[in-house]
Every structure is written in structure tokens, then in C-alpha cells.
Structure 1
Amino acid sequence: MKFSGPLESQRLSLLLETAISREAQMWKAHVPKIQPNQDVAISPKQRDEVIQWLAKLKYQFHLYPETLALAISLLDRFLAVVKARPKYLNCIAISCFFLAAKTIEEDERIPVLKVLARDSFCGCSPAEIRRMEKIILDKLNWDLHMATPLDFLHIFHAVAVSSRPQLLTILRKLSPSQHVAVLTKQLLHCMACYQLLQFKGSMLALAIVSLELEKLLPDWLALIIELLQKAQMDSSQLIHCRELVAHHLSTPQSSLLPNPVYVYSPLQHTLVTCNRGAFKCQPSSVPGPGFSKDNGRPEVPVTATAALYQRLPAPSGCKQASAKRKVEEMEVDDFYDGIKRLYNEDTAPEVVALENMGSVCSADVSRQEGSVSPCPPLQPVSVM
């Protein structure tokens, strides 16, 4: 795909103009009516927890990031016009999730409602979800097509690549879809932060893009000013949004690794050194947090949502104890499966090289005899 040229610039300008217009129509009803009193109304903490739960369901059912972004936007739109009680929050959230899946996903990828209700542990029957769907559609005037923050992220990133072709050289081993996948991961984390709801989705997306371009381009400010003018945004609000986003992404609870890594749950596995400097995993008798005992499916949020754990893949030379202990590699494709359609990338490399984005490990695990891993202790991370 050609990333520069007059036709491409006109197309992106038209997409941005349409998205801005769509956002302006719905923004007034986009801030949820949430109160700190959890007994009377849904609290900010409960809202953020249920979104983290939906993020786990997105991975469990292998759906696109666009589906999760739309589900969050629908949830916030509904809570902005309806003062719902906390006991209905799970039903509202899973209904928004199902509506978003039917809007975004291909027919064969849409979860079966009965399976979704059962495997999500939402506590709702399929009939209750369908009744809640009808209520949500009525309150939203049957209009589910809205400009989400992820839509703006795609547009801003495409404009940056189109107007600054040197980005492709700077990124080197990263394709545009893989790069925007890193930003998508950050954006979805920010969408689960109630404090950032004070900003429009376009402002949130531009703040994330600007923080990234500041690290890559010497003339990043000129490009951001250009995008500010096109989107008709206030520069002072963008500065405030950038500060909050940078703080949110730097906190331990929501710190985001900009590259796919392998992590393990210390409560579920213990690493023991074996031959040739490799490691083998031994199961722990203590169950890991945030998962039910039924096949490790995510639990419905009650008081707090635990971090999503991935397991360290067993290296060659280590004997696997059993099928249940077989570790899995984090599916990087989940981050940009669907995003690559934006750039007409039909295929993606099997291994995503993100070393230039800052790796957790200073070097790869050495496979030479007598060597040990130079990596620091792996920590559990929250993946959205």
C-alpha cells in the first residue's frame, strides 16, 4: 500500500473529518453518570474493573481490538443516559460486548450467546442478555456506529506514516500494523481509566500518538500541531491529557511493555535451573489470582480485577511434566489481527521483532552450554 500522495492525504482528511463530526454528535452523552457511592450508583472503580474483565473476554474469545473499543464506548454511552445500579453492571457490560461483537466481527467469529453467557461467568442467562440488549438499543436510539478512540488512533497513525515516510525507516523491523498494535495496547489500557473519560476519544488517541512520536521524530511537534488543527482541538487540553496518559502508563498497575514478552505467574510456577542453562517449570499448589478453577477462565469482577498472567514457554532441553503444565506463547497476532487490514498487509511475520521499542531483557536467553539467562526476574503484567 502506498502511504503518501495527494489521494492518500485527501482520503485520510475525509476520514478524520467524518470521525470528528460523528464524535461531536455523541460527546455530550458520552460521560457516564457515575458516583463514588457504590451502594447507590456505579462507582469509577467498578466501571474500570468491568472493562478489564471485558478485556479478558476479548482474549478468551479471540476478538478484534475494535470490538473491545466499541464495547467500552457503548458501555459509557449507556451509563451516561441511564443511572444504573451496580448489580446490573455485569449484564450491561456483557450485553454491550455482545452488541459490539455483532457489529464488528465476521459472522463466523461472533460468539454464540449461550456459550458467551456460560464461559464469561457473567451471572446472566441468554434471555437476560437479550432483554438488556433491547434496553441498550432503545436508549442509544439503535445507533451503534460511533467513532471510537481506536478509530482516531488508526487515522492519526496513518496520517503520521503518510506525512512522515521516514517513520518506516526508523521503525525498521516493525511493520505499520505492528507499530499501531503497540499503541492500541496502550489505548485500551487508558480506556479502562475513568479519570481519562474527561477527554474525547480523539484527544486521548492524539495524546498517545504524540507521546510515541516524541520518541521517534525530531520534528514531532510540527506534525502534532498539524493534527491538532485538522481535528480542531485545544492545545492546552492536549497537554493536560498527555500528562495524565503518561502518568497512567507509567504506574505499576498499568505499565505497558511496548513489545511482546513471555511472563509467568509466580504463584503458579517455579523456575528451576536445568541442564544447559535452561529452565523448567514446576507447578505450585497455590492457585493464581484472577482466574477461576475451571480451565483458568477469567472471573467476573467483584472487588478488584487481577492482572492477566501469561506463562513462560518451556525452552528446548526441558521435559514437560504434563499437558496441563504445557506453557503457551502469548499470541502477538491478537494485537494487530485486524489492524493489519488497515494497511492491506495480508501476512505478518511469525515472530514480531520489537527490540527497538525497548525490551525487558537486555539480551536473549543464551543456549550455550554452561550459560544462564541474563534476563531480570520476570514480573506479571496486565495485558489488555
Structure 2
Amino acid sequence: MIDKVTGAGALPFPVQLKALLDQEARYQPKLSGLRVIESAQDNGLRMTVKLRDFQVRELLSLTRFFGFSGDTFSLAVNLLDRFLAVVKIQPKHLSCVGLCCFYIAVKTSEEERTIPLASDLIRISQNRFTVHDMMRMEKIVLEKLYWKVKAPTALHFLRFFHSHIQEMDAESKSILNIERLEAQLKACHCSFIFTKIKPSLLALSLLALEIEDQYECEPVPALKEALDGLQERLSVKAGDLVCMRELVAKCLAEYATTKCLKPNGQRLRWMISGRTARQLKHSYYKIAHLPTIPESAY
């Protein structure tokens, strides 16, 4: 993934930040395509916001099931949103597109020994397409994204900013909980509204909301100073940050459960026999290939 070096031989923070911001602009979903999805009617014929959010939640479930990292999930969401913003797909192809984006992210972020077979991914996710369909779709996704896979995600910025704040104020190590922040980011990924927001701004908003919610009664000057410094470096207006913070707060309120706050506290494990695995989708081996997928762009 995107390498960010900290410690004694690291490049200065402003240099690393500029490099990330330069990349960020090139890996954002196309706004015109996102608006088409946003305006689509839920008639089963067009890609919609509801379908997109459902698919992202499916990817989150797969991430938890396999015990994959947050990097994998965030990258999979980035790939999915970028593809949906440039190619008009029919709802019946969405699960194949989503699983392909997930598989690309897995192969990019995870250790080789932990990468599952495509056939196992299809069977566990109980999808109705073949490995051949998935490989064909994967090629389409990569071509439409010009093979630009290693995108700087909101998770990269969140960890980068969090590390920077810790370097500025040692006490913040026991104050800002990165696991909690990452869990909140996963909830935001499941909401379409954040597809149009720059990853750096989303990360900053999560930090701002956390600092405000947790330490309003007992303000920590060093945290406020560090946050103001990040806001200035990102050239974010105070009003824009307030609006984003409110959007994040509204999203998190809908996911205010123990499961959301601690999504990785107890990893889901399915212990199944080979026979059971084969019967998950008894018709899987008889499924015909998906019809040709139109590649019309917005």
C-alpha cells in the first residue's frame, strides 16, 4: 500500500502529506458518475445508492469473516466506488463487481499465504456466478481503473494524522484510540454520502468529532492545537469542517452499537466441513456464465 515512514529517518511531515494529497486527487471517484447513481430511481434497472451501500456492507462482512485488515476493506470500497462512477452496470452484475474489487484489494493488501481461492470467495459469499465470470470482471475493473490500484484511502490519512498528533503530544497516545476511530471509519464507508468527500477531509472530520465528543468537558490544548494545524495544512475552512463533522456524527449515530464500536472484538468464524461448503450453493456448479456485461461509461 501507500508507504508512510515515521521515526528517525522519515521525511518531514509536510513532505509526506503533500505526496499523499497529490495522489489523493488522482484516485477520487468521478463526481459526475456518482451523481448519476445518486439520482437513479430504485426500479431494479439502475445502480442506486441503496444498492451500493448494501454491497459495501457485504464487503465489510467478508472482511470480518476472513479476518482481513482495514486496509483491505478501505481499498475495496475505493475501487468499487471508482468503478461504479465510470461504468454503468446493471444491479445483477453488482455482486460480481463488488467481489472482484474485494479480491483485488485482498491481493494488494494481504499476505500471499492468506489469500483465498476465487472459488472459495464465491462459495462463502454465496454468489451466483462462476470463477470465469469473476476473472473476466476483474480484468474489466482493472482496465477501467487504468490498473491504478494502490490508492490513498481515508484510512491512510486517519493513521497518518493520528501518528502525527502522537508525535506532537505524547499524552495523546492514551487519549485518541485508533481502533475506535478505524471502526467509525468503517461505518462511514457504508454510507454513500462520503463517496464524494476527500479521504483526507473525512479522516480529519473523524478526529475532530472524536476530540470534541470525548474531551469537550476536559479540553486538551495540545490536541486542539494539533487539529488546527492539520486543518490549516489541508486548507479546510472552519465551516466546511463543522458541516463534515455533523455528517459524520449523524452517520455514527445510526451505527451506535457495540458491534460498531468494536467490530473486530470477536471475529466471526464459520467452522464448516467440506461437504457443507459444497452444499452452501448446491447449484453453483451448474450456474451458467453471466451474460456479456456492457462496458458503457458515463
Question: Is the pair's TM-score, using the shorter chain for normalization, greater than 0.5?
Answer: yes
Cα pair distance change 1:152/1:185, threshold 3 Å: same
Native 8 Å contact 2:29 2:195 kept in 1: no
The equivalent of 2:292 in structure 1 is: none
Q: 1:200 to 1:262 in 2, by over 3 A?
A: closer
Deviation for aligned residue 1:60: 1.3
Corresponding residue of 1:255: 256
**Maintained 8 Å contact 2:29/2:196:** no
Equivalent residue, structure 1, for 2:225: 222
Q: Find the counterpart in structure 2 of residue 208 from structure 1.
A: 206
Rounded Cα–Cα distance in structure 1 between residues aligned with 2:201 and 2:264: 29
Aligned CA distance change for structure 1 residues 5 and 147 (closer, same or farther; 3 Å) = closer
Structure 1 residue 6, shift from structure 2 partner: 7.8
Q: Over residues 262-306 of structure 1, what are the superposed CA-to-partner deviations in whole Å (9 max), with x where a residue is unaligned?
A: 89xxxxxxxxxxxxxxxxxxxxxxxxxxxxxx78xx99xxxxxxx
Q: Secondary structure at the match of 2:160?
A: helix
User: Which residue of 38, 41, 53 maps to 1:37?
Assistant: 41
Higher relative contact order (CA 8 A, sep 6+): 2
Distance apart, 1:226 and its partner CA: 0.6
Partners of 1:4 and 1:165 within 8 A in 2: no
Amino acid at match of 1:87: K
Q: Distance in 2 between matches of 1:201 and 1:85?
A: 27
CA distances 1:156-181 after superposition (whole Å, capped 9, x unpaired): 1111111111113x44xxxx8xx211
Shift of 1:235: 2.9
Identity %: 30
Instruction: Give the residue type in structure 2 aligned to 1:218.
Output: V
Q: Do the aligned residues in 1 keep the contact of 2:96 with 2:129 (CA within 8 Å)?
A: yes
Instruction: Look up the match of 1:92.
Output: 97
TM-score, normalization by structure 2? 0.78
**1:4 shift after superposition:** 9.2
1:170-319 matches, cutoff 5 A: 170-171=174-175, 179-214=177-212, 215-216=214-215, 217-219=219-221, 220-251=223-254, 254-257=255-258, 258-259=261-262
Deviation of residue 122 (structure 1)? 2.0
1:126-147 C-alpha deviation (Å, 9 max, x unpaired): 1111000010011000110111
Question: What's the offset of the Cα at 1:218?
Answer: 2.3
Equivalent residues in 2 for 1:357-368 (5 A)? none
In the other structure, the counterpart of 2:24 is 23
Instruction: Give 5+ residue unaligned stretches, structure 1.
Output: 264-293, 300-384
Count of residue pairs the alignment pairs up: 255
**Match for residue 113 of structure 2?**
108
Structure with the greater alpha carbon radius of gyration: 1
Q: Deviation of residue 195 (structure 1)?
A: 1.9
1:348-359 alignment runs, 5 A limit: none
- 2: CA distance between counterparts of 1:126 and 1:85? 19
Judged with a 3 Å threshold, the aligned counterparts in structure 2 of structure 1 residues 256 and 6 are, in CA distance, closer, same or farther, namely farther
Q: Is this contact kept in 2: 1:182–1:259, CA < 8 A?
A: yes
Alpha-carbon offset, residue 27 of structure 1: 2.7
Distance 1:141 1:89 in 2: 20
- Residue identity opposite 1:118 in structure 2: R
- 1:91–1:129: 8 Å Cα contact kept in structure 2? yes
The CA distance in 1 between the partners of 2:131 and 2:107, in whole Å, is 15
User: Do the aligned partners of 2:107 and 2:115 also contact (CA within 8 Å) in 1?
Assistant: yes
Q: 2:83 aligns with which of 58, 74, 78?
A: 78
Aligned partner of 1:130 among 135, 139, 142: 135
Which amino acid counterpart does residue 26 of structure 1 have in structure 2? Y
Q: Report SS of the residue matched to 2:26.
A: helix
Q: Is the contact made by 1:58 and 1:64 (CA closer than 8 Å) also made in structure 2?
A: yes
**Structure 1 residues 131 and 241, CA gap change in structure 2 (3 angstroms):** same
1:41–1:226 CA distance, 2 compared to 1 (3 A): same
1:158 pairs with 2:160: no
- TM-score, normalisation: structure 1: 0.61
Amino acid at match of 2:55: V
**Cα pair 1:19 1:147 within 8 Å, conserved:** yes
Contact preservation (8 Å) 1:41, 1:85: yes
Unaligned runs of 5+ in 2: 267-275, 282-298
